């Protein structure tokens, strides 16, 4: 143990061991400190669902704290971002940089990744480290990238151009660092779904083949022509491609028209095909993906819940002392632990948690209550400091005058909201009208001032710190939009009067801000608010999907850039030169691709590639895009587009839909978890609660006053001595994630005294153990 650890330092300031300052509580021995740190590491892992085994030597624990410090995590994400965005600067580049610069940056990133890996190797047991495929993946990728860099660099030096293939491997870093748990979980979910989906896919391809054969025989010899005058359905490979695209609906009904024009009855063939392959098979894909998603989600959640339990038991076993017949954690130890785990927690909040954990105020926390600690820390309790309005302190006479009270009552009235709803509607009509009319452009100033007056009035009525509370999403939204609009409008007017010229960018921003203001109307309608809240709620997990899509897009974009870059060029928005009309490639002469002016859909840089891939995800014109690129390169180019469709649409989009379905179902059966209810009960018991609805209806001040007057009331005044002047509120239950909900549901099924399976068993859970447990009416129908 290092000597600095035992030096006692500050006592009164909150203990923050994350900063490695190793401040120690008075009267504790080094051994006790050590134990406390270890237990705190376990609790912290449980709290954040971290799943990394670490060594328990003092040095390893200290390194582990450092490893989990937020600066380290931000740093590693920074390097991942730099590494991924290098593609913007490498040939084919959006902003070209010399090879030396990008390769230096890449080596720097690789060094950072390697350093992170070495750090990780120091905190985790050797065996575990080398068994973990994540670490092997990262190391192999680092080595491969270095080899590629060297080969490419040396060939470049002798002016031979080769392929930077290792760039497609870069997303490996994003996936495999332990911080990207969510993305990895989605990948695991996809991997687990693959065997099931493979058979459906084979059957689907078999069906496409059978139909292709039929089409070849039925239409091949008829001498039919497509609209472009090309032969219709004469080559089996073309037919398979066209029919595959028909599944995506991208070429319906064009692909049918020649046959349909020839003979009325042939449309039956296409209708049969569409019903079987587009509707039934695509639904079956969704069903298989969704079913697997649920199955594996349950398994993962179960694993997480047991791991959390396991870690909390470890922590308890370190800190426990025997009191009477049972093992408990003393209040003093509990306080120290909480301070180490959550150094920024406020005193009253800690006091509240202790009251909940030590129900009978016996001076110690028993095992069942101790195990809840990680959950308790995760529940965001908003500590509301009830203060009087600053104006009331500053000039009480004026603020409490009857005129002022009238204004306040007016602002709190429902009609005030309605009046502003009407103003927003009128504003919407004005926006829709032509703004070149000077009257209307003056009206904009009027509306802007009305909105500013609204905010000022509200700030006059409500306590500003409550108005801008952490969860007051719509207040923040309003104010930011208005201030931004004000700043942008003023800036624009200044520029306009100074230089007689409108800045297009600023005007665009002003317009968008002006229209975003209209969103406010949603808040006024209860049913809309519910839907929007659910959507905001699932927002964070949608970002996980963003990560997943980024990885897939990145790989496909790199491949696409290598294969297609420079083949199609966009030159001039007015399409005057003959070269611009064929997208700079004579092969595209008279093609639908050039005729529809798709030249900007190319793979000439990373941003363009991403946009093309986005268009492909929306599926339409898969044919047009694939056809265009097949013309300028080779027919095999179509495989790239079909491959992308299979990966993104059949797998990822279906998983996305499955996720949204699941999120809505969980939201429908949403109930408060046990732990949360316990906190709320305690808050109510102590008489320091505020109902959420009261907050939302803008009646905050009223209620606070009412409660404040009852505060010096009858019972249990000593109970509240630490909490006086403070109010608590469970942070909106609406903002909880699906994962958290599911985990709580599952935890409520584990008996409190249950130890759970061993660590090895937990890590090897398979969905089969769990599902179908007991198919009954409730869960199957």
User: 322 or 436, CB closer to a second copy?
Assistant: 436
Is residue 114 helix, strand or coil? helix
93 binds a second copy (CB under 8 A): no
Retrieve residue 482's tokens. Answer: 């208005």
Interface stretch with a second copy, choices 184-192, 287-295, 356-364, 369-377 (CB under 8 A): 287-295
Applying CB under 8 A, among 137, 419, 511, 731 the residue interacting with a second copy is 511
Look up residue 765 and give its two tokens.
Answer: 């859970």
Exactly one of 153, 573, 643, 752 binds a second copy (CB under 8 A); that residue is 573
Interface residue with a second copy among 596, 674, 705, 761 (CB under 8 A) is: 596
- Does position 668 bind a second copy by CB under 8 A? yes
595 belongs to the binding site for a second copy (CB under 8 A): yes
Query: Contacts with a second copy: how many residues (CB under 8 A)?
Result: 109
27: left (phi over 0), alpha (psi -120 to 50) or beta: left
Q: Judged by CB under 8 A, which stretch of 84-92, 295-303, 375-383, 723-731 contacts a second copy?
A: 295-303
**Crossing angle of helices 539-564/654-668, nearest 10°?**
180
Is 133 or 780 the residue whose CB approaches a second copy more closely? Answer: 780
* Beta-carbon contacts of residue 712 (< 8 Å; ≥ 6 apart): none
Residues 428-457 interacting with a second copy (rule: CB under 8 A)? 428, 431-432, 435
78 counts as binding a second copy under rule CB under 8 A: no
Count of CA atoms in the C-beta half-sphere (13 A) of 389: 23
Q: Among 388, 597, 707, 733, which residue interacts with a second copy (rule: CB under 8 A)?
A: 597
Q: Which helix or strand (DSSP H or E) is residue 364 part of?
A: strand 364-366
Q: Does 502 bind a second copy (CB under 8 A)?
A: no
Stretch that binds a second copy, among 76-84, 184-192, 335-343, 649-657 (CB under 8 A): 649-657
Q: Which of residues 535-554 bind a second copy (CB under 8 A)?
A: 535, 542
**Piece of 214-222, 363-371, 626-634, 703-711 that binds a second copy (CB under 8 A):** 214-222
Q: Where are the alpha helices (DSSP H) in 14-94?
A: 30-47, 58-67, 70-85
Residue 89 interacts with a second copy (CB under 8 A): yes or no: no
Task: Rank residues 179 and 238 by Cβ distance to a second copy and give the closer one.
Answer: 238
Our CB check for a second copy shows the closer of 282 and 391 to be 282
Among 139, 151, 214, 407, binds a second copy (CB under 8 A): 214
Number of Cβ within a 10 Å radius of residue 146:
14
Q: Which of residues 706-745 bind a second copy (CB under 8 A)?
A: 742, 745
Q: How far apart are CA 613 and CA 641, in angstroms?
A: 9
Phi, psi values for residue 653, rounded to 5°: -65, -40
Closest approach, Cβ 374 to a second copy, in A, equals: 19
Q: Which two tokens stand for residue 525?
A: 């309608």
Q: Which of 49, 182, 274, 635 binds a second copy (CB under 8 A)?
A: 274
Shortest Cβ distance from residue 684 to a second copy (Å)? 23
- Is 507 in contact with 492 (CB distance < 8 Å)? yes
- Taking CB under 8 A as the binding criterion, the range among 166-174, 297-305, 338-346, 379-387 that sits at the site for a second copy is 297-305
Angstrom distance (rounded) from CA 65 to CA 23: 14
**Count of other CB atoms within 10 angstroms of residue 727:** 22
Residue 422 φ/ψ, nearest 5 degrees: -65, -40
Residue 506 found at the interface with a second copy (CB under 8 A): no
Q: Which two tokens stand for residue 509?
A: 């921003």
Tokens (6 digits) for 462? 């409500």
Of 93, 121, 137, 216, which one interacts with a second copy (CB under 8 A)? Answer: 216
User: Bridge partners of 689?
Assistant: 728
At closest approach, how far in Å is the CB of 185 from a second copy? Answer: 14
Q: Are 134 and 102 in contact (CB under 8 A)?
A: no
Binding mask 604-633 toward a second copy (x if CB under 8 A, else -) reads ---x---x--xx--xxxx------------
Q: Binding of a second copy at residue 488 (CB under 8 A)?
A: no
Among the candidate windows 45-53, 173-181, 276-284, 554-562, which touches a second copy by CB under 8 A? 276-284
Which residues, numbered 412-431, are part of the site for a second copy (CB under 8 A)?
Answer: 428, 431
Is 114 an interacting residue with respect to a second copy (CB under 8 A)?
no
**Residue 698, phi then psi, degrees to nearest 5:** 75, 20
Residue 208 binds a second copy (CB under 8 A) = no
CB of 246 to a second copy, least distance (A): 9
Q: Which residues pair with 366 in a beta bridge?
A: 328
Q: Does 666 bind a second copy (CB under 8 A)?
A: yes
Is 280 a binding residue for a second copy by CB under 8 A? The answer is yes
Cα 685 from chain centroid (whole Å): 36
Distance of closest approach, residue 433 Cβ to a second copy, in angstroms: 10
C-alpha–C-alpha distance, residues 85 and 167, integer Å: 11
Is 531 among the residues that bind a second copy (CB under 8 A)?
A: yes
Q: Note whether 325 binds a second copy by CB under 8 A.
A: no
Phi, psi of 15 (to 5 degrees): -75, 130
Angstrom distance (rounded) from CA 447 to CA 444: 5
- Binding residue for a second copy, selected from 130, 206, 418, 468, defined by CB under 8 A: 206
Q: Are 282 and 247 in contact (CB under 8 A)?
A: yes
| Smallest separation, CB 289 to a second copy (Å) | 10
Rounded Cα distance between 284 and 235, Å, is 29
For the chain, the residue count is 781
Among 12, 402, 497, 776, binds a second copy (CB under 8 A): 776
Among the candidate windows 251-259, 392-400, 407-415, 756-764, which touches a second copy by CB under 8 A? 251-259
State the maximum Cα–Cα separation within the chain, in Å, rounded to a whole number. Answer: 96
We find the least distance from the C-beta atom of residue 474 to a second copy, in angstroms, to be 15
CB burial of residue 303 (10 Å; 0-12, 13-18, 19+): middle
Distance from the first to the final alpha carbon of the chain: 60
């Amino acid at each position: 143990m290092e000597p600095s650890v035992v030096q006692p330092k500050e006592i009164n300031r909150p203990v923050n061991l994350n900063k490695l300052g190793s401040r120690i509580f008075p009267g504790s021995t080094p051994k006790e400190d050590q134990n406390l740190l270890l237990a705190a590491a376990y609790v912290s892992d449980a709290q954040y669902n971290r799943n990394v085994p670490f060594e328990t030597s003092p040095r390893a624990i200290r390194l582990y704290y450092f490893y989990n410090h937020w600066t380290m995590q931000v740093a590693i994400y920074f390097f991942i971002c730099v590494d991924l965005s290098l593609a913007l600067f490498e040939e084919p580049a959006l902003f070209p940089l010399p090879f030396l610069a990008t390769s230096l940056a890449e080596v720097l990133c690789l060094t950072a990744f390697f350093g992170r890996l070495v750090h990780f190797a120091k905190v985790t047991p050797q065996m575990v480290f080398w068994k973990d495929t994540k670490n092997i993946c990262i190391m192999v990728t680092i080595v491969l990238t270095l080899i590629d860099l060297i080969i490419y660099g040396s060939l470049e030096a002798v002016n031979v151009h080769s392929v930077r293939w290792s760039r497609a491997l870069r997303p490996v870093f994003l996936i495999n660092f332990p911080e990207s748990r969510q993305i990895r979980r989605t990948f695991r979910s996809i991997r687990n779904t693959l065997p099931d989906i493979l058979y459906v896919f084979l059957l689907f391809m078999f069906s496409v083949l059978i139909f292709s054969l039929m089409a070849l025989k039925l239409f091949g010899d008829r001498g039919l022509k497509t609209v472009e005058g090309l032969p219709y359905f004469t080559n089996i490979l073309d037919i398979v491609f066209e029919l595959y695209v028909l599944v995506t609906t991208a070429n319906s009904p064009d692909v049918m028209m020649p046959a349909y024009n020839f003979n009325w009855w042939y449309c039956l063939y296409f209708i049969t095909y569409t019903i079987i392959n587009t509707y039934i098979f695509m639904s079956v894909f969704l069903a298989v993906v969704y079913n697997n998603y649920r199955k594996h989600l349950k398994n993962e959640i179960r694993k997480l819940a047991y791991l959390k339990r396991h870690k909390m038991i470890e922590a308890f076993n370190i800190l426990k002392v025997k009191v009477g017949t049972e093992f408990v954690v003393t209040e003093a130890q509990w306080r120290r632990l909480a301070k180490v785990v959550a150094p920024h927690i406020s005193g009253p909040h800690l006091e509240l948690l202790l009251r909940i954990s030590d129900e009978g105020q016996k001076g110690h926390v028993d095992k069942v209550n101790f195990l809840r600690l990680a959950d308790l820390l995760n529940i965001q309790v908003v500590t509301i400091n009830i203060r009087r309005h600053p104006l009331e302190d500053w000039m009480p006479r004026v603020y409490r005058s009857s005129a002022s009270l009238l204004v306040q009552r007016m602002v709190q009235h429902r009609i005030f909201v309605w009046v502003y709803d009407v103003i927003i509607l009128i504003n919407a009509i004005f926006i829709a009208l032509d703004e070149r009319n000077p009257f209307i452009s003056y009206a904009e100033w009027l509306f802007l001032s009305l909105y500013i007056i609204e905010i000022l009035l509200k700030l006059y009525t409500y306590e500003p710190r409550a108005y801008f509370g952490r969860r007051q999403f719509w207040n923040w939204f309003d104010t930011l939009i208005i201030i931004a609009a004000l700043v942008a409008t003023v800036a624009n007017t200044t520029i306009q009067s100074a230089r007689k010229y409108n800045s297009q960018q600023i005007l665009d921003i002003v317009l968008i801000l002006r229209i975003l203001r209209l969103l406010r109307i949603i808040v006024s309608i209860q049913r809309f608010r519910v839907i929007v809240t659910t959507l905001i709620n699932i927002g964070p997990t949608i970002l996980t999907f963003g990560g997943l899509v980024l990885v897939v897009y990145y790989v496909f974009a790199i491949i696409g850039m290598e294969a297609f870059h420079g083949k199609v060029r966009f030159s001039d928005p007015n399409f005057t030169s003959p070269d611009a009309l064929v997208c700079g490639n004579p092969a595209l002469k008279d093609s639908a691709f050039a005729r529809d002016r798709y030249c900007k859909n190319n793979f000439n840089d990373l941003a363009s590639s991403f946009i093309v891939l986005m268009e492909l995800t929306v599926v339409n014109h898969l044919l047009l895009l694939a056809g265009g690129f097949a013309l300028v390169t080779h027919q095999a180019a179509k495989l790239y587009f079909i491959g992308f469709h299979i990966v993104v649409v059949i797998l990822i989009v279906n998983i996305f839909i499955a996720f949204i379905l699941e999120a809505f179902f969980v939201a429908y059966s949403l109930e408060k978890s046990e732990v949360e209810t316990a906190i709320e009960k305690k808050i109510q018991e102590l008489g320091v609660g505020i109902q959420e609805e009261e907050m939302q209806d803008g009646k905050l001040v009223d209620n606070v006053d009412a409660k404040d007057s009852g505060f010096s009331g009858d019972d249990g005044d000593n109970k509240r001595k630490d909490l006086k002047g403070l109010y608590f509120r469970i942070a909106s239950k609406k903002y909880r994630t699906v994962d958290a909900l599911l985990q709580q549901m599952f935890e409520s099924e584990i008996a409190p005294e249950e130890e759970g399976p061993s660590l090895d068993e937990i890590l090897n859970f398979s969905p089969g153990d769990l599902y179908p447990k007991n198919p009954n009416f409730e869960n199957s129908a």
